[in-house]
Amino acid sequence: MPTITFVNEKKEIQVPAGANLRQQALRAGVPLYPGINSVVNCHGMGTCGTCRVLITKGMENTARMGLLEKGRLGVSMAYIGNEETMRLACKTKVNGDITVVTRPSMNLYGENFFS
């Protein structure tokens, strides 16, 4: 069974292969959404972009990004500079061990921001 390690929450959970990251996080009581977005979100439809996470280890253990997810993240400023690690939790299938940073902050001053 794959293990998901949530860095901010210092929590590890085991999930069945192919599990949905958003569903497993919410089931484990891991807060995925910043502020009011815990109530105001698209509930896993992949359209609001508020379930963004960084997968800092094990990206190869997730299913490939689909067109909807790519399109949604592509219009997000938070995606700039995080293209290798950012995913939408609601569209991420977990096939192996991963390490996740929830509610990543936007680095407005990062070296890649305007490049």
Spatial distance between the Cα atoms of 82 and 33, rounded to a whole number of angstroms = 18
CB nearer ligand FES, residue 46 or residue 104: 46
For ligand FES, the binding residues (CB under 6 A) are 41-42, 44-51, 88, 90
Which of 25, 18, 2 has the alpha carbon at shortest distance from 102? Answer: 25
Nearest approach, Cβ of residue 60 and ligand FES (Å):
21
Cβ neighbours of residue 87 under 8 Å, at least 6 residues apart? 21, 52, 53, 54, 55, 59, 62, 65, 69, 73
CB nearer ligand FES, residue 10 or residue 43: 43
As a dihedral over the C-alpha atoms of residue 8, residue 18, residue 45, residue 69, rounded to 10 degrees, the angle is 80
Nearest approach, Cβ of residue 46 and ligand FES (Å):
5
Nearest approach, Cβ of residue 114 and ligand FES (Å):
25
Nearest approach, Cβ of residue 44 and ligand FES (Å):
5
For the four alpha carbons of 113, 90, 38 and 31, in that order, the dihedral sign comes to negative
CB nearer ligand FES, residue 50 or residue 82: 50
CB nearer ligand FES, residue 39 or residue 109: 39
